[in-house]
């Protein structure tokens, strides 16, 4: 218990007495702010970060275009926020768990999720790890320590606290980073997660991507306070606000946050200030709630351009390399997309697997009855019909053979 | 009579309710100037001001808790939950608070003014977080009313009735039909009764019961069945809680057969309740077992959505099986 001084007259502290500074290292022209020192970052790692940011941007552009052509049902971009997510991921141990919201494809790209793996999920084909059950962008990878995305917002935040508590008990020196938007930070789950993390001294990094909007709702209608960061005080938690478009600042802040989390078993809140340059999703049109002028102003703060200038100044990158990278990425995205599109959907049996560890008798009955029905109307269920077993595709009556 | 789609009909009902009574407020995520992600609340903020139509922070338990308080104070909140899949953070507020306000206070307080609007259902390639039909969870809760419209005309009349009903109502909107269902809707104020089913088609061989988006699917199945010479009676339940047992029983006395359909999983689905109640009342009149055509007992899928959904072919097969039992 901390002791607080007594007062003997009603003296209120105003809610806006705290204002939290923003940590910045890199200017938009690629030079450092006065008094700023770049974090230690060897050339290879810096280039890996940069390539992941560019690959994320290319993936997003191509997949949005694919959605517009009707090849994909839905897509979500993270344009403008690449530095926040890739920078944070690069500062972690590759074995640290990441629990993301849905706009964190950059973390996967950095950790080596291949374009094929992205496409299989986006097209929900038979190779999708999630077996075609979730909408596009709900990625997951056990190998890369990236928890499968769930759409209900903020549910991953208290889960991260729990996961990280388990890591602490396991004593493996790892932590969990959980990403969420400033909108999701309004949910009760957010508050529950921070409180439990602080009370139980959990090595978890709460990473808020404050990109200004939750669908159409601007952050000023989301909270009256100075963003999300001041909430950390209420829970007695370490906190930093960082320029989310500044790769060097995000990287150093997260690296330090990880040190605090792992060495001291203390949770940390990071609020990365950025802007959602794209629409909320492919189903959204932001012209209904914000101005082109506002978007343009943020385009001028492009995090990728900022890092590119820094790299070029250091002599670590060049225009030619940039061009070659862009071209090869575009080609690769298109090729993998074509491959993934052609693959069949997961088999019909996948409808009833994974609900439980074993298919229950009732689910088996339901599946059998569905199969009988599809055999009767194969042309009405093209996906399901083609995924019945080969005998059935050839028109054999499997039921007669006693397999049904 | 003007034609409207379901969203326009809902918007029109909200406009009428707000215009008539300044205690009516509309709020929820993205509901304010943007008009909601589906645009059901378009122009209401322009017309009635930010104090009566506004964006809330992104917190469903907050939205419904706030709405409960407002309703207890005497206001008439119409709260939007952006997707029925996201109603669960507010489950405690709805099931433990909204539903029991009147009962636990001996009617000192009530939240009868509250209406919760929320889009539900599949058929939009939404996967399992944009497709659920969670009505049965709420139908297990005494104190709530549950209303589901099937078309624009019904949506307007039932929504106006829900807003003015003395009890809290969850109004499930079949989002697949938001733009797809277009029909004539009177411009003036009208209400349709809550708690009453509607026989939408008379027939003699089999009774079909459904609600919301399933009604259109039932109609397609009935067309096929009638080509086989089967005469179908079709009932739109419209209100799931309290549901109109008398209308369904009366029909089953006549036809002797009942097929119930819903999109939600079978186990614990509302069809089970209907089947049980009707077999209690109509046992000696039944000529075949009551049939259920429902989703599977799995979360809602994406790629195999078409296979999962109870469609017209599955319903027509159930009708045939029932008649040829
Ligand atoms: C519990 C819940 N409520 C509502 C939604 C619908 N929804 C999806 S994204 C979103 C906005 C999220 O905004 P924010 O957290 O700021 O993240 P951003 O999209 O800006 O990255 C909403 C309301 C949801 N997915 N889950």
**Predicted confidence (pLDDT) per residue in A311-321, tens digit:** 999 999 999 99
- In this prediction, residue A3 has a pLDDT band, given cuts at 50, 70 and 90, of confident
Q: Is B58 in the pocket of ligand 1 (CB under 6 A)?
A: yes
What would the DSSP string read from start to end of B274-293?
HHHHHHHHHGGG-SS--EEE
Q: Does residue A404 carry a pLDDT above 80?
A: no
Q: Examine the domain organization and report whether B96 and B128 are in the same domain.
A: yes
**Predicted confidence (pLDDT) per residue in B78-103, tens digit:** 999 999 999 999 999 999 999 999 99
Q: Report ipTM for this prediction.
A: 0.95
Q: Do the domain assignments include residue A27?
A: no
Q: Which of B153, B184, B215 is the last residue of a domain?
A: B184
Q: Examine the domain organization and report whether B29 and B149 are in the same domain.
A: yes
Q: Does residue A196 carry a pLDDT above 90?
A: yes
Q: Do the domain assignments include residue A28?
A: no
Q: Which atom of ligand 1 is nearest to the CA of A102?
A: 21
Q: Examine the domain organization and report whether A209 and A355 are in the same domain.
A: no
Q: Which of B184, B212, B228 is the last residue of a domain?
A: B184
Distance A183 CA to ligand 1 centre (A): 6
Helix (H, G, I), strand (E, B) or coil at A110: helix
Q: Examine the domain organization and report whether A337 and A356 are in the same domain.
A: no
Tokens matching residue A401:
């053979």
Q: Examine the domain organization and report whether A76 and A189 are in the same domain.
A: yes
CA distance B108 to B103: 9
Please, are residues A159 and A99 in contact by the beta-carbon 8 Å criterion?
yes
Given ligand 1 and candidates A192, A215, A276, which is best to mutate, with the most ligand atoms within 8 Å of its CB? A215
**Residue holding tokens 């322009």?**
B46
> Considering only CB atoms, which chain A residues are within 8 Å of B50?
none
Q: Examine the domain organization and report whether B202 and B319 are in the same domain.
A: yes
Name the pTM for this structure: 0.96
Torsion of CA B179, B185, B188, B191, to 10 degrees: -90
Q: Examine the domain organization and report whether B218 and B155 are in the same domain.
A: no
Structural domain tally of chain A?
Answer: 2
Given ligand 1 and candidates A137, A150, A157, A181, which is best to mutate, with the most ligand atoms within 8 Å of its CB? A181
Neighbours of B201 (CB within 10 A): 15
pLDDT at res. A389: 63
Q: Which of B130, B156, B184 is the last residue of a domain?
A: B184
CATH of the domain at B279: 3.40.50.920
pLDDT > 70 fraction of chain B, expressed in percent and rounded: 100
Q: Do the domain assignments include residue B189?
A: no
Q: Do the domain assignments include residue A47?
A: yes
Sign of CA dihedral A304, A309, A314, A317: positive
Q: Examine the domain organization and report whether A202 and A330 are in the same domain.
A: yes
Q: Is B85 in the pocket of ligand 1 (CB under 6 A)?
A: no
Q: Examine the domain organization and report whether B247 and B119 are in the same domain.
A: no
Helix (H, G, I), strand (E, B) or coil at A301: coil
> Considering only CB atoms, which chain A residues are within 8 Å of B31?
none
Please, are residues B131 and B121 in contact by the beta-carbon 8 Å criterion?
yes
Please, are residues B24 and B76 in contact by the beta-carbon 8 Å criterion?
yes
Minimal Cβ distance to A124: which of B54, B302, B311:
B302
Q: Examine the domain organization and report whether A120 and A209 are in the same domain.
A: yes
pLDDT at res. A397: 40
> What is the interface size between A and B, counted as CB pairs within 8 Å?
131
CATH of the domain at A158: 3.40.50.970
Q: Do the domain assignments include residue B249?
A: yes
Positions in chain B whose pLDDT score sits under 50:
none
Q: Do the domain assignments include residue B193?
A: no
Domain that holds residue A360: 348-388
Q: Is A182 in the pocket of ligand 1 (CB under 6 A)?
A: yes
Peptide bond into B242 cis (omega under 30): yes
Q: Examine the domain organization and report whether A352 and A326 are in the same domain.
A: no
Q: Examine the domain organization and report whether B205 and B88 are in the same domain.
A: no
Q: Do the domain assignments include residue A65?
A: yes
Tokens matching residue B5:
């789609």
Is B130 in the active site? yes
pLDDT at res. A2: 61
Structural domain tally of chain B?
Answer: 2
**Predicted confidence (pLDDT) per residue in A119-172, tens digit:** 999 999 999 999 999 999 999 999 999 999 999 999 999 999 999 999 999 999
Q: Examine the domain organization and report whether B177 and B219 are in the same domain.
A: no
- In this prediction, residue A401 has a pLDDT band, given cuts at 50, 70 and 90, of very low
Q: Examine the domain organization and report whether A354 and A286 are in the same domain.
A: no
Domain that holds residue B40: 3-184
């Amino acid at each position: 218990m901390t002791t607080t001084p007594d007062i003997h007259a009603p003296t209120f502290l105003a809610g806006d007495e705290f204002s939290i500074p923003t940590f910045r290292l890199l200017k938009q022209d690629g030079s450092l702010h006065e008094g700023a020192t770049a974090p230690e970052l060897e050339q290879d790692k810096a280039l890996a970060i940069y390539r992941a940011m560019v690959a994320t941007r290319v993936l997003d552009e191509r997949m949005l275009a694919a959605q517009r052509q009707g090849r994909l049902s839905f897509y979500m971009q993270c344009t403008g926020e690449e530095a926040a997510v890739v920078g944070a991921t690069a500062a972690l141990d590759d074995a640290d768990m990441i629990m993301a919201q849905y706009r964190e494809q950059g973390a996967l790209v950095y950790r080596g999720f291949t374009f094929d793996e992205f496409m299989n999920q986006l097209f929900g084909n038979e190779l999708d790890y999630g077996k075609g059950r979730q909408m596009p962008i709900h990625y997951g990878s056990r190998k890369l320590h990236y928890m499968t995305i769930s759409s209900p917002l903020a549910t991953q935040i208290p889960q991260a606290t729990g996961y990280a508590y388990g890591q602490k008990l396991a004593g493996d020196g790892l932590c969990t980073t959980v990403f969420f938007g400033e909108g999701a930070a309004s949910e009760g789950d957010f508050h529950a997660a921070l409180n439990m993390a602080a009370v139980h001294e959990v090595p978890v990094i709460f990473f808020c991507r404050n990109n200004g909007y939750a669908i159409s709702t601007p952050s000023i209608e989301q909270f009256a306070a100075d963003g999300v960061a001041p909430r950390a005080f209420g829970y007695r938690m370490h906190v930093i606000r960082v320029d989310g478009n500044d790769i060097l600042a995000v990287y150093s802040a997260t690296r330090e946050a990880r040190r605090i989390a792992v060495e001291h078993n203390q949770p940390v809140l990071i609020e990365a200030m950025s802007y959602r340059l794209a629409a909320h999703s492919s189903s959204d049109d932001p012209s209904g709630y914000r101005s082109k002028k506002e978007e343009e102003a943020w385009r001028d703060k492009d995090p990728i351009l900022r890092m590119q200038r820094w790299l070029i100044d250091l002599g670590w990158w060049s225009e030619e390399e940039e061009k070659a990278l862009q071209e090869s990425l575009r080609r690769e995205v298109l090729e993998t997309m074509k491959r993934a599109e052609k693959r069949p959907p997961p088999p019909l049996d996948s409808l009833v697997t994974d609900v439980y560890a074993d298919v229950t008798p009732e689910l088996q009955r339901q599946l059998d009855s569905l199969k009988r029905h599809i055999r009767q109307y194969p042309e009405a269920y093209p996906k399901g019909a083609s995924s019945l077993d080969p005998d059935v595709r050839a028109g054999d009556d499997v039921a007669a053979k006693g397999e049904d | 009579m003007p034609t409207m789609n379901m969203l326009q009909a809902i918007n029109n009902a909200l406009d009428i309710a707000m215009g008539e009574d300044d205690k009516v407020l509309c709020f929820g995520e993205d509901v304010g100037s943007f008009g909601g992600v589906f645009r059901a609340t378009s122009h209401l903020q322009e017309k009635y001001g930010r104090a009566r139509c506004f964006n809330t922070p992104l917190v469903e338990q907050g939205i419904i808790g706030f709405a409960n308080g407002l309703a207890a104070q005497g206001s008439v909140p119409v709260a939007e939950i952006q997707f029925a899949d996201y109603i669960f953070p507010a489950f405690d507020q709805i099931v433990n608070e909204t539903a029991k306000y009147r009962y636990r206070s001996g009617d000192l307080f009530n939240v009868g003014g509250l209406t919760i609007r929320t889009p539900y259902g599949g058929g939009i390639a939404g996967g399992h977080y944009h497709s659920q039909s969670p009505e049965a969870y709420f139908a297990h809760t005494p104190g709530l009313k549950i209303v589901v419209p099937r078309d624009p005309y019904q949506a307007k009349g039932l929504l106006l009735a829900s807003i003015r009903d003395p009890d809290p109502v969850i109004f499930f909107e079949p989002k697949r039909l938001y733009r797809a269902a277009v029909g004539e809707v009177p411009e003036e104020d009208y209400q349709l009764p809550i708690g009453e089913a509607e026989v939408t088609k008379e027939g003699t061989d089999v009774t079909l019961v459904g609600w919301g988006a399933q009604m259109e699917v039932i109609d397609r199945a009935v067309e096929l069945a009638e080509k086989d010479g089967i005469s179908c009676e079709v009932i739109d339940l419209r209100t799931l809680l309290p549901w109109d047992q008398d209308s369904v029983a009366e029909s089953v006395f006549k036809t002797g057969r009942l097929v119930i359909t819903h999109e939600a999983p079978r186990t614990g689905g509302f069809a089970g309740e209907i089947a049980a109640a009707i077999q209690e009342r109509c046992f000696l009149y039944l000529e075949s077992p009551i049939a259920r055509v429902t989703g599977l007992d799995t979360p809602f899928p994406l790629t195999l959505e078409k296979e999962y959904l109870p469609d017209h072919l599955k319903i027509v097969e159930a009708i045939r099986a029932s008649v040829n039992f």
